Amino acid sequence: MRSITKTFPGVKALQDVTLEVSRGEIHAICGENGAGKSTLMKVLSGVYPHGTYDGDIVFENEVVEFSDIRHSESKGIVIIHQELALSPFLSIAENIFLNNEIKGMFGLIDWNKANLEASKLLARVGLRENPTTKIRDIGVGKQQLVEIAKALSKRVKLLILDEPTAALNDDDSDHLLDLILHLKEQGITSIIISHKLNEIKKIADTVTVIRDGKTIETIAKIDVTEERIIKDMVGRDLEHRYPDHTPHIGDEILRVENWTAHHPQDSSRVMVDSVNLNVRRGEIVGIAGLMGAGRTEFAMSLFGRTYGSRISGKVFKDGAEIQTRSVAEAIDNGIAYATEDRKVYGLNLIEDIKRNVSMASLGKLSRLGLVNDNEEYKVADEYRVSLNIKAPSVLAKTGKLSGGNQQKVVLSKWIYSDPDVLILDEPTRGIDVGAKYEIYTIINRLASEGKGIIVISSELPELLGICDRIYALSEGRITGELPVEEATPEALLKLMTMETPR
Amino acid sequence: MTDTSTKPVRVAKGGAPSWVGAIISDLGKNGIFLALIAVVVLFSILTNGILLRPQNISNLIVQNGYILILAIGMVIVIVAGHIDLSVGSVAAFIGAVSGVFAVKMELPWWIAIILSLLIGALVGAWQGFWIAYVGIPAFIVTLAGMLIFRGLALVVLGNSNIGSFPEEYRALGNGFLTNVFGEFPVDPLTMGIAVLAIVGLIVQQVRTRAGRRSYGQDVEPLGWFVAKIVLVSAGVLAFAYALATFKGIPITLIILAVLVMIYGIVTNRSVFGRHVYAIGGNRHAAELSGVKTRQVDFLIFVNMGFLAALAGLVFTARLNLAGPKAGDGFELEAISAAFIGGAAVQGGVGTIGGAIIGGLIIGVLNNGMSILGIGIEWQQAVKGLVLLFAVAFDVFNKRRAGSSR
């Protein structure tokens, strides 16, 4: 791939990226969340067709212009996405040959042959399952193998795996990595996107690091060290993008002990593993973790058990144990949670600012079950002014606001619920730089009012810029805690990628 | 717009409210009301004025009362993102049950009515349980309910009709509030109530306006405010005059008026109403804001069951007969009314007023086409087209508004 540039409205996702993968090697791509790894792979596999990006893709010495995925697959490039693209109610064989069916007489599907072929493919990936088993009846690890079998059925030459082990346990991960090495012996080239540095060291022949949509460097296997990769991944300067913040830290306001939550469907999978943490008055505490580390899962299971099953652990506020079994109970106990995805979980986009601001605190605005409209308007308007929400009036629909202003509406809603502890999940995702600064200022102001703030973010510079103390989370466990003075991106990334033995 | 530059107009944050702007914005919001007026005018002309004869206006109300009652409950169900297909069957079932209470068991009429309404609420609780707490889609639960309660209605009736209801019961559908002060060509009670209603309306409007002003919010220009009240008052008076020269105020209309007032407040001003809109707008966000979504869903269906029962009583009273075919197709008319009245299929949008107007449009279409002697087959087709075009118009409007972001 030569000089690939891909822009989305308002963002340059990839800038002049060049990636060279030799035949028969395993090439790892590293980078922080949002660095552009997945975008690059989508360009390569034709998800973003030719014409929507600049630059050339050269495959087997010829320039290729893919119009869609089928086109790239016909050349032997297959991508396996992080979210598996299998249909749960179809059998393994049906999934393998989906849209690539083995036809017999009269153009009808020859199921006997399909199942036979499927079992051959399954043998190649080392999966001992009947091809007629339904996908939902096998685990994620095996589903991953089915995806690879599907790729093999398409006579794959270049296999792209987007974080293949993110959802797998250690055994399944090992099996998958062995399989990738095995495929290499059969002459199949792989590109693997991964966060797990030890994995990369184990299997990759070459590593390319991408940051902010640019290639930083390509390292050969003998030169690969974790330190070097981490440095490449984060090495950006922390400009003055964060308002000054002098903490006035008081007594402990929230303490969570041994908080454990399991996956909502698969209740044997631990998603949040004995988390202990505390927040003091006036303190901004960060939670750093890679995607899938259990950050949001922790916050949502804590906030009214809106995520997970078999949740256990204790929560103390001001030293006394409290319960947070429902959202209403959590709010009553002075906890607020501003969600990661404000459009899906945070706002009623078809309603106006006023009604969104009042949503979590209607009790305060009502008497005998009737809401005082005028008071509601007044409250919302006060927040519009004090948080500088750019809208003609509080009667504007939130769906029409920009991301930054929407986030301010979400913050207004939770500030008005008058919490003692605010959990902010990715408070600045998808927001432009100016609005980010304003959000940070609001967070500082809330802290100086004596509230305890927990900020969850996948942007390390942001955590380092605004927090007083940072916890690192990896695979559902707290792997370390650093005061901001001692925290560096390198140190945090090391903790965030630390794998804990189970 | 030229007068805005010469006169000192209060310019506020939300953009200057001008006469023209206020009228346009009101017309935009009340497009469905204009559609009703257009339909009324059209059929008045086509029927040479028969549509607007006092007797026909009175008939319009009593013939559509039960659909309007159902539409009130249905719009709440739809706003929350559900649907209820069972209301026609529930109405039939409750009609039959009330027949057993009032005719076969000869209970006092008011006990029969109260018991019937309670059973209606229980039916709603049954369906609400499956929808809210078990998590089965309302479409399935109420489709099952449509069959279950139609069946139960037949069981209760035991293959026959129940008729000859007590007179007080029959008044629900046939009664008129009239002649309390003796016989007059124009009933004074009807006119008196109309005047009271207008005074109430004016007091309420003025208080709302004053309240908004005291909180420093923008209000529409005084002239347009007064003009609107005058227009509405004139409409109410004309309507009341028509009723007063016929038999007076139908009891059905009184029931409807009370329901519209109560449910108007519930949907607009109550915490419960807010929760319904919040759930319909974004269920996840509502839940994460502390709304007890299951409880709200459950109550919505209890309420729908109650209103379906009331509609069943009114219908039975009007026919003076509880029969097996009662309530056939009511659910579709009620759903149509809500959608014509601007409710959104995805939930989150819809008003009681809109549903009532939607129901009246269907009513006027039915009535007008019957007067014209158009066959039932064409009536069906026309109503179907009106529903389709009304929703298509709405979709078109939204798309235009969306693209101008």
ipTM rounded to 2 decimals:
0.82
- DSSP code, position A239: -
Location of structure tokens 């000192």: B8
Residue in B288, B299, B397 to test binding to A, most A beta-carbons within 10 Å: B288
Q: Please give the structure tokens belonging to residue B56.
A: 């026909």
Please report how many Cα atoms fall inside a 13 Å half-sphere around the Cα of residue A446, on the Cβ side: 32
B27/A69 Cα distance (integer angstroms): 49
pLDDT tens across A299-328, in order?
999 998 888 888 999 999 999 999 999 999
- Would an 8 Å CB–CB cutoff place B1 in contact with chain A? no
Distance from C-alpha of B7 to C-alpha of B5, rounded to nearest angstrom: 6
Task: Look at residue B254 and tell me whether its pLDDT is greater than 80.
Answer: yes
Indicate the burial class of B324 (C-beta count within 10 angstroms; 0-12, 13-18, 19 or more).
middle
Sign of CA dihedral A356, A357, A363, A369: negative
pLDDT band at B400 (very low <50, low <70, confident <90, very high): low
Residues 388-407 of A with CB under 8 A from B: 392-393, 395, 400
> Chain B within 8 Å of A355 (Cβ-Cβ)?
yes
Asked if B292 is an interface residue toward chain A (Cβ–Cβ < 8 A), one would say: yes
Residue B384, number of CB atoms within 10 A of its CB: 12
User: Which 3 state secondary structure label does DSSP give A184?
Assistant: helix
Model confidence at A224: pLDDT above 50: yes
Under DSSP, is residue A125 helix (H, G, I), strand (E, B) or coil? coil
DSSP code, position A482: E
C-alpha–C-alpha distance, residues A212 and A15, integer Å: 8
Give A34's pLDDT tier (boundaries 50, 70, 90). low
CA-to-CA separations, A142 to A3, A86, A380, in angstroms, rounded:
37, 12, 51
**Predicted confidence band at B29 (pLDDT cuts at 50, 70, 90)?**
low
| Closest-CA residue of chain B to A400 | B405
Q: Please tell me the predicted confidence (pLDDT) of residue B233.
A: 92
Say yes or no to pLDDT of B309 above 90: yes
pLDDT at B154: 94
The lowest-confidence range among A124-138, A156-170, A237-251, B26-40 is A237-251
Tens-digit pLDDT profile for residues A157-185: 899 998 888 777 777 888 888 889 988 88
Q: Determine the Cα angle at B132 with ends B126 and B135, to 5°.
A: 105
- Residue of higher predicted confidence among A193 and B132: B132
Dump pLDDT digits (tens) for B329-378: 899 999 999 999 989 888 899 999 999 999 999 999 999 999 999 988 89
pLDDT surpassing 50 at residue B14 = no
pLDDT, mean of residues B60-64: 90
Please give the Cα distance from A72 to A74 (Å, whole number). Answer: 5
Predicted confidence at residue A162, as pLDDT, reads 86
User: Which amino acid would we find at residue A350?
Assistant: I
Question: Which 8-state DSSP code applies to residue A396?
Answer: S
Q: A221 to chain B nearest CA, in Å?
A: 46
Report which listed range, A125-129, B310-314, B364-368, is most confident.
B310-314
Chain B touched by A10 (CB under 8 Å): no
Q: Is A349 on the interface with B (CB under 8 A)?
A: yes
Round to whole Å and give the CA distance between A400 and A397: 6
pLDDT of residue B16: 45
B271 vs A371: CB contact, 8 Å cut-off?
yes
Task: Burial-class residue A375 by CB neighbours within 10 Å (0-12, 13-18, 19+).
Answer: middle
Looking at the complex, does the CB of residue B283 fall below 8 Å from at least one CB of chain A? no
Integer Cα distance of A78 and A158 in angstroms: 6
- As a whole number of angstroms, the distance between CA A72 and CA A191 comes to 15
pTM (2 d.p.): 0.78
d(CA A342, CA A357): 13
A78 vs A85: CA distance, rounded Å: 12
Least confident window among A105-109, A285-289, A438-442: A105-109
Say yes or no to pLDDT of B120 above 90: yes
Given the candidates 3.30.230.10, 3.30.2000.10, 3.40.50.300, 3.50.50.60, the CATH classification of the domain at A240-334+420-430+450-502 is 3.40.50.300
> Which domains, from first to last, does chain B contain?
54-177+271-391 (1.10.3470), 179-246 (no CATH)
Determine whether domain A2-234 maps to CATH 3.40.50.300.
Answer: yes
Say whether residue A303 is in contact with chain B using an 8 A CB cutoff.
yes
Inter-residue contact A66 to A109 (CB < 8 Å)? no
- Distance, CA of B209 to CA of A395 (rounded, Å): 17
SS (H, E, C) A100-114: CCCECHHHCECHHHH
Angstrom distance (rounded) from CA A385 to CA A378: 11
**Domain assignments of chain A as residue spans, ordered by start:** 2-234, 240-334+420-430+450-502, 341-418
Query: Does the pLDDT value for residue B5 go beyond 70?
Result: no
- Residue A370's contacts (CB-CB under 8 Å, 6 or more residues apart) are B265, B269, B270, B271
Of A74-78, A227-231, A404-408, B283-287, give the lowest mean pLDDT range. Answer: A227-231
Find the mean pLDDT for residues B392-402. 70
> Are A389 and A405 contacting, i.e. CB atoms less than 8 angstroms apart?
yes
CA-based end-to-end distance of chain B:
24
Q: Which residue of A has its CA nearest to B212?
A: A374
Handedness of CA A324, A326, A332, A336 (dihedral sign): positive
Distance CA B319, CA B280 (A): 37
Residue A389 has pLDDT above 60, yes or no: yes
Contacts of A345 (CB under 8 A, 6+ apart): A339, B282, B284, B285, B288
Q: B247: pLDDT confidence band, cut at 50, 70 and 90?
A: confident
Cα dihedral angle (B7, B10, B14, B18), rounded to 10 degrees?
Answer: -40
Q: What is the mean pLDDT of residues B77-98?
A: 96
**Closest Cβ opposite residue B217 in set A362, A377, A413:** A377
Which pair of tokens denotes residue B372? Answer: 């014209």
Asked if residue B97 has pLDDT above 90, the reply is: yes
Return mean pLDDT, chain A.
86
pLDDT of the residue at A9: 55
- Residue A501 is predicted with a pLDDT of 54
Residue-level pLDDT at A48: 87
pLDDT value at residue A1: 63
